[in-house]
């Protein structure tokens, strides 16, 4: 899989389930902390924080 999702800058936690219904993986949660992007360890989906200056 390996998609990219942009989230609002004030979001601190995202979840990923890899897809709809039984096609995905177990739901996992990732905290951004000081990072601007996190990558799902199961499917490679990348979550990127939106730049406040856009």
Is 13 domain-assigned?
yes
What is the reported pLDDT for 2?
A: 61
Q: Which domain holds residue 31?
A: 4-49
pTM: 0.83
Is 22 domain-assigned?
yes
Is 54 domain-assigned?
no
What is the reported pLDDT for 4?
A: 94
Q: Would you say 10 and 32 are in contact if contact means Cβ atoms under 8 Å apart?
A: no
Does residue 1 have a pLDDT over 60?
A: no
CB burial of residue 7 (10 Å; 0-12, 13-18, 19+): middle
- Report pLDDT digits (tens) over 16-27: 998 777 778 999
- Report pLDDT digits (tens) over 29-49: 999 999 999 999 999 999 999
What is the reported pLDDT for 24?
A: 87
Is 40 domain-assigned?
yes
Using CA atoms of 2, 33, 49, 12 in order, give the dihedral in degrees to the nearest 10: 100
Is 34 domain-assigned?
yes
Number of structural domains the chain divides into: 1
Rounded Cα distance between 35 and 17, Å, is 21
């Amino acid at each position: 899989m390996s998609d990219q999702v942009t989230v609002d800058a004030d979001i601190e936690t995202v979840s990923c389930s890899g897809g709809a219904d039984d096609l995905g993986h177990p739901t996992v949660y990732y905290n951004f902390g000081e990072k601007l992007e996190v990558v799902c360890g199961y499917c490679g989906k990348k979550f990127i924080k939106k730049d406040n200056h856009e």
